[in-house]
Structure 1
Amino acid sequence: MNSIFTEIYNDRLFQIIVSAIVAAIVSVAAIPVIIKISRLKNLMAEPGERSSHIKKTPTLGGVAIFASTLISYFLWSNPDEGEFVHLSISAMVILFFLGVKDDILVLSPKKKMYVQIAASALVVVFGDVRLENLFGIFGIDEVPYILSLPLTVFVFIALINAINLIDGIDGLAGGIGMICGGLFGLWFYLNGYFAMACLAASMAGSLFGFLRFNYSKTSKIFMGDTGSLIVGFLLTMFAIKFVQLNIAYRFDPNALFSAPILAIVVLIVPIFDTLRVFIVRLKDKKSPFVGDRNHLHHILIDSGMTHLQASVVLWVFTVVSTIAFLFITKNTDNTTSLYILGGLFGLYMWLSHILKARNAKRQELLDAAEAEAQKQKEIQEQQAILLEEKKLGKPALEIR
């Protein structure tokens, strides 16, 4: 009997599942305490012009995500973890303190950028987590070492901030992080990279616990910059490591997918949304870094969807796109696959534009109806005054 329990305890799948469950439990247990402290110390987000919320809300949910991810990951020894995992955890700690300070005090974008670059460079330079091969996309295979360093740091910064940008409605960033972490974690497990699978499962579990409160009406909390920085960093690290580990299969005719294309598709929502809002802002001759309500999730909310409905639409889009590209790109070269992805982005842009135009038209009709109702109300008030004056024998007022 003991040998059976020992065998189960040492089973890697069992450990990964337990890590995800423990992460969810720790997250659920920690968040109420964080909410209470946030309210006592008034560490709350004030509703702003671009906000989709009307109440002050705690913003330190990322503290629970950070703690529950690391606690559940360290439940087991992971003999296959490389130096890059230790460095990734060090980078997470750096980003954690950056996020907490920004959530409480609000830092300048430049300071945040410098720290993000430092944390990313730590993993890229010393952990050798690099985009070292583009799999023949546009005829490019191996990327020279000296070019791969800044390229990979740029990808880290871009994706970290892309996750931050989609954190505009309840459940979107958390749900996307959970789904993407689960997809990457599944691949890592199936291919024997248990340390990475455990870390991905821990993050996904912590986000599952966080979502329980992110959707709560009475105990709502946001992940804040603390959460978005950590989730964005880990997803980027998973994506780049996923590409690295698949380099050996780039010429394999039996390969099921092209790693760079699939990594982009798994992260399709933050990538597409960030590209789209930057293009729209530049077209409107605005700074691409100035916030607005041009994000697709804002457009979906303005069209009448709830936060949950809008998030589910984008969650489903992630899963369906990933499954579809596994079939579409199986026998397609990588450059063509990228063109197909570009076509999908064009469709995404067009549908977003149509939906936004429809929202604007509907708002215009609502404003016109409201103006007409106000005008009728004024006429009725004048008519009431006219009748009253007739009763009193006073001269009538002209109704305009």
Structure 2
Amino acid sequence: MNNSFWTFYNSNLFHVIVSTVVACATSITAIPVIINISTLKNLMASPIERSSHQQATPTLGGVAVFASMLISYFLWENPDEGQLIHLSISSIVILFFLGVKDDILILAPKKKMYVQIGASLLVVVLGDLRIENLFGIFGIYSVPYIISLPLTVFVFIALINAVNLIDGIDGLMGGIGMIAGGLFGIWFYLNEHYALACLAASMAGALLGFLRFNFSKTSKIFMGDTGSLIVGFILALFAVRFIQLNVQYRFDPNSTFAAPILAIIVLVVPIFDTLRVFIIRLKNKKSPFVADRNHLHHLLIDSGLSHFQASLVLWCFTIISTLLFVFISKNAENTTSLYLLCLLFVVYMTVAHLLKTNNQKRLLKLQKQTKSEVETEKPETEEAFKA
């Protein structure tokens, strides 16, 4: 029994489990302290017209996620990814300081973009983390080095900002980050990439601890740009590394031939939502970067769902889409997988359109009802005044 215990204690599975638990416990312990400091120093987000919250709320939850994740990750020695992990941690630290400064002082979008590009280049160039193969999608296989560099940096920037855009209601971004990180982490663990598996477990645990307060009514805290930048970067790291490793494991039975498409499916909510709102804004001849309430999570809230219910719908959408895609496209051609992805996007757009149409009808009906009530009360008021 003792031998079995020590074998499990020294196993990578034990490291992954403990990393998750320690990250969650550290996050839960640290966040109340951050809430108190934020309240004392007035580091709060005040509600604006398109906000989904009604009162000033602390925004430095990402600080707890950052600290909890790194503390739990560095409990173990994980040498299998070598320099890539070291460079990734360096990029995460850079984005952490960018996020903290933006949460406190508000930075210009261009400055934020330059730092994001720099942090991405660090892992893409020095860590040789690139999208090298498109697995026959659009008839493209190997991607030349000179093209793979800007393509991979674009993917990093797009995913970082897509994750930031879905941070509009309680629990959504934290839950999606936890689920997507967990799904990638399972694959990394099964394929013996334990450093990435531990990093995924640490992030998932930290986000789980954060969600406990993000949904709280008495001690609420938001992720802020600190958290969304870090989580977005790590998910981009996982997605690109997942694609890269599947090229190397092309003849391994555990590999996923449509790896780029599966990576999109795992991150379906931020990617589809960003595409959708950009299409709508361009159609309405507006800048794609001007914020509004056209996101699917806003439509769900406007339809009467609570923050938890709206987030739960999109969490389930991520999990079900991923499982169905893995099951359906296991032995399918890459072209078939691409068709399935396009079909899923059409379904997403259709549901969002129906929700928006229904919300507009409900609003119009409410306005007519209110107007009718006012007109009914007006004569009574006039008679009372004459009397």
| TM-score bin, normalised by smaller chain | over 0.9
Deviation per CA, 1:268-314, whole angstroms, max 9, x where unpaired?
A: 00000000000000001100000000000000000000000000000
Question: Once the two structures are superposed, what CA deviation does each residue of 1:378-399 show, in whole Å capped at 9, x if it has no partner?
Answer: 221112123x2xxxxxxxxxxx
Determine if contact 1:137/1:334 at 8 Å carries over to the other structure: yes
Q: Output one character per residue of 1:328-361: Cα deviation in whole Å (capped at 9) or x when no partner.
A: 2122221231122112111211111111011001
Q: How far does residue 250 in structure 1 lie from its aligned partner after superposition? A: 3.9
> Where do 5+ consecutive residues of structure 2 fail to align?
none
* Partner residue, 2:114: 114
For residues 234-286 of structure 1, what are the alpha-carbon distances to aligned partners after superposition, in whole Å with 9 as ceiling and x for unaligned?
A: 00100110111110344668855521111110000000000000000000110
Shift of 1:372: 1.3
Distance 1:279 1:341 in 2: 17
Corresponding residue for 1:210?
210
Q: Deviations over 1:191-234 (max 9, x none)?
A: 11100000000000000000000000000000000000000000
Q: Name the CA distance, whole Å, in 2 between partners of 1:114 and 1:335.
A: 36
Shift of 1:376: 1.6
Q: Deviations over 1:94-115 (max 9, x none)?
A: 0000000000000010000000
* Contact in 2 for aligned 1:135/1:250 (Cα 8 Å): no
The residue number in structure 1 matching 2:335 is 335
Rounded to whole Å, the distance in 2 between the matches of 1:11 and 1:252 is: 23
The correspondence of residues 41-60 of structure 1 with structure 2, limited to 5 A, is 41-60=41-60
1:7-30 per-residue CA deviation (whole Å, 9 max, x = no partner) reads: 232111011100000000000000
Paired residues of 1:59 and 1:222 also in contact (CA < 8 A): yes
CA distance in 1: counterparts of 2:341 and 2:253, whole angstroms: 21
| Partner AA of 1:183 in structure 2 | L
For 1:241-390, list aligned pairs within 5 A. Answer: 241-250=241-250, 257-386=257-386, 388=387
Q: Which is greater in Rg?
A: 1
**Contact conserved, 2:65 with 2:210, CA < 8 A, in 1?**
yes
Matching of residues 181-192 of structure 1 within 5 Å = 181-192=181-192
Amino acid aligned to 2:309? Q
SS at match of 2:134: strand
SS at match of 1:132: coil
1:9-48 alignment, distance < 5 Å: 9-48=9-48
Which residue is equivalent to 2:236? Answer: 236
Contact 2:258 2:334 in 1 (8 A): yes
Aligned to 1:133: 133
Asked if structure 1 preserves the Cα contact closer than 8 Å seen for 2:257 and 2:334, the reply is no
In structure 1, runs of 5+ residues without a counterpart are 389-400
Number of aligned pairs?
A: 387
Q: Distance in 2 between matches of 1:178 and 1:48?
A: 28
CA shift, 1:3, in A, is: 4.4
What is the CA distance between 1:130 and its match in structure 2?
Answer: 0.6
> Helix, strand or coil for the counterpart of 2:232?
helix
Q: Is the 8 A contact 1:19 1:73 kept in 2?
A: yes
Query: What secondary structure does 2:135 align onto?
Result: strand
Corresponding letter in the other structure for 1:52: S
Contact 2:246 2:259 in 1 (8 A): yes
Matched position secondary structure for 1:80: coil
CA offsets per residue over residues 12-59 of structure 1, 9 Å max, x none?
Answer: 101110000000000000000000000000000010111000100000
- TM normalised by structure 1 equals 0.94
Residue type at the aligned position of 1:304: G
Per-residue CA shift, 1:117-175, capped at 9, x if unaligned?
00000000001111011011111111001110000000000000000000000000000
State the distance in 2 between where 1:331 and 1:272 align. Answer: 25
Letter in 2 for 1:42: N
Q: Distance in 2 between matches of 1:168 and 1:58?
A: 14
| Alignment-mate amino acid for residue 183 of structure 2 | L
- Report the RMSD for the aligned CA atoms in angstroms: 1.3
Does 248-257 or 43-52 show the bigger shift?
A: 248-257
Is the 8 Å Cα contact of residues 24 and 205 (structure 2) preserved in structure 1?
yes
CA separation in 1, counterparts of 2:358 and 2:372?
21
